Amino acid sequence: MQAPSPQNSLLPMLDHLNRMEEERLSPAATRSTDAIRRRQEERNGYRQAFSLDADRIIHSRAYTRYIDKTQVFCMVSNDHITHRVLHVQLVSRIARTIGRFLKLNEDLIEAIALGHDIGHAPFGHDGENFLADLCRKHDLPPFQHNIQSVRFLNHLERKGRGWNLSLQTLDGILCHDGEVHANRISPGTVKNFASFDRELEKKKENPGYKLAPMTFEGCVVRMADTVAYIGRDIEDAILLKLIRREDIPESCRTQLGRTNGEIVYTLVTDLIRNSVLPSSGDSRNGHIGFSQEISEFLQELKTFNYKNIYLHPKTKTNLPLIQNCYEALFTHYLTQLESGQTTKPVDIMTDMDASYLESHTPAAMVCDYIAGMTDDFFLKQAANVGCKVPRKQ
């Protein structure tokens, strides 16, 4: 008799893990057995569906490039300043803590959190704005990092095959919108891939189009995104001497905390206490959210951050040079693609399957290529085409 393969011998444990979810998770939580994939996969593994998604994201090339992507502060010679790779890990940790107390699916939360910013262009939101302007000039929809995150994971990784992630994971990534302040959020309608694709197209054409995640897990990540950056950005700004701790509004210091640790603890505790999950699967009766009081203090702290950190002149010092580099690189690569005279770095863009090459204009390919660059690679390529590039201070 042939011995069972190591993989098949672990399948009973998979069944056990799925049964345990029924016992320990909230009725409102997403079960691993509910995962929907666009393409049916023949391989039967022993990992639960959303855990597999998290593994695929963390092993993607786009995830590797997180390590040199700006969070808020760029061109700073200080290894203690937050980069995008740390931010997504903080979001994951914070969201999983909330999810554990609310009895939600932590694997789905982790997958959404790790992938939610994977589409960010070099130099954070400012780079996103520069690339959006260039896309408009070339008759493309304005660049949006959440849509690009879905594109990388669903279409561009693995030479165009993508990772075939679950609908629930991709939906949470698309709908994260952590910069939008909200007191609470409830899941939207149940979706399939057809409705997901329609929402993505609406968002692509209208960046102001409001999206709601289809799961409570997606709602948790959306709230945790704010919790992860609001106090951390303050600590970075203090380290860079842009603000002093005493500059934080007294009301926020009293009600939320003076340090990132205190702020995170206050916000997480409030979210856990004030979120409501339905006892049935009807998501209309539940929400993930803050108390009204804490939400107002959080809004006040966001306003402080925008005025004193994100719009601080020192934060914007290098942006004119970086914007020039965006324009020069876009023009350079577009000219090479349209003329067919590509140099070796641009060949990375054309190393895709036939369906990608046939369905994308040269301008769309340039957008994908630049969006995937790390900060350092971007600056090296800009210098190669004759741009004046900023230097770290």
Residue 120 has pLDDT above 70, yes or no: yes
Q: Is the pLDDT of residue 290 over 50?
A: yes
Res 249: pLDDT:
97
Q: Per-residue pLDDT for 4 more than 70?
A: no
The tens digit of pLDDT for each residue in 208-232 reads 999 999 999 999 999 999 999 999 9
Tally of domains in the chain:
2
Same domain, 312 and 352: no
Q: Answer yes or no: do 292 and 327 share one domain.
A: no
| Residue appearing with tokens 């040199």 | 68
Number of Cβ within 10 Å of residue 274's Cβ equals 18
Instruction: Report how far residue 126's alpha carbon sits from residue 123's, in angstroms, rounded to the nearest whole number.
Output: 6
161 and 252 in a single domain? The answer is yes
Say if residues 32 and 21 touch (Cβ distance below 8 Å). yes
Boundary residue ending a domain (285, 316, 347): 316
Q: CB count, 10 Å around CB of 245?
A: 12
Give the whole-number percent of the chain exceeding pLDDT 70.
Answer: 93
- Residue at 136 is within a domain: no
252/356 same-domain check = no
Mean residue pLDDT of the chain comes to: 91
Give dist(CA 233, CA 230) in Å, integer: 6
Do 260 and 371 lie in one domain? The reply is: no
Mean of the pLDDT values across residues 112-131? 96
What digits encode the pLDDT tens for the residues 124-137?
999 999 999 999 99
Same domain, 262 and 380: no
Residue 1's pLDDT is: 43
Q: DSSP class of residue 121?
A: P
Residues 325 and 285 in one domain: no
- Domain boundary, last residue among 290, 316, 342: 316
Tell if the pTM clears 0.85, that is, is over it.
Answer: yes
Last residue of a domain, one of 264, 291, 316: 316
Same domain, 374 and 285: no
Assess if residue 225 is contained within a domain: yes
Give the model's confidence band at 73: pLDDT under 50 very low, under 70 low, under 90 confident, else very high: confident
118 found inside a domain: yes
Q: Is residue 218 part of a domain?
A: yes
Q: Do 170 and 214 contact (CB within 8 A), yes or no?
A: no
pLDDT at 275 over 70: yes
Residue 250 lies in a domain: yes
Instruction: Indicate whether 9 belongs to any domain.
Output: no
Based on the fold, state whether residues 110 and 151 are members of the same structural domain: yes
More confident residue, 46 or 7: 46
> Are 74 and 213 in the same domain?
yes
Q: Same domain, yes or no, for 254 and 297?
A: yes
Helix (H) or strand (E) holding 329: helix 319-339
Quick check: is 33 in a domain?
no
What whole-number distance in Å separates Cα of residue 353 and Cα of residue 336? 20
Strand pairing partners for 13?
none
Contact 196, 167 (CB under 8 A): yes
Q: CATH number, domain at 277?
A: 1.10.3210.10
Q: Supply the DSSP string of 291-304, one letter for each residue.
A: -HHHHHHHHHHHHH
- Residues whose CB falls within 8 Å of the CB of residue 180, separated by 6 or more in sequence, listed in order: none
Is the same domain home to 301 and 361? no
Q: Determine the structural domain holding residue 353 and report its residue range.
A: 319-384
In a domain, 12, yes or no: no
